[in-house]
């Protein structure tokens, strides 16, 4: 995003490129949050499975 903004300020990039870069960053941040959530859910499922097996 910074590169797109610098290019725009230098007059060699477009405002559309800046907006697209911001959208890409927002999407990447959302994907990161989703990945962390998926990881935590999988970890909780694993912990439950191990705990259930240990209590048999």
Each residue's pLDDT tens digit, 6-38: 999 999 999 999 999 999 999 999 999 999 999
Cα–Cα distance for residue pair 50/24, rounded to 1 Å: 39
Cα–Cα distance for residue pair 39/27, rounded to 1 Å: 18
Closest CA to 3 of 29, 30, 12: 12
Contact (CB, 8 A) for 20 and 3? no
pTM comes to: 0.76
Domain boundaries, the chain: 2-54
Six token digits for residue 16: 């559309």
pLDDT given for residue 55 in this prediction: 84
Cα–Cα distance for residue pair 49/52, rounded to 1 Å: 5
């Amino acid at each position: 995003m910074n590169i797109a903004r610098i290019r725009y300020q230098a007059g060699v990039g477009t405002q559309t490129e800046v907006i697209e870069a911001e959208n890409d960053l927002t999407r990447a941040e959302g994907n990161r949050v989703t990945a962390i959530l998926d990881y935590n859910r999988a970890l909780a499922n694993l912990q439950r499975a191990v705990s259930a097996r240990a209590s048999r």
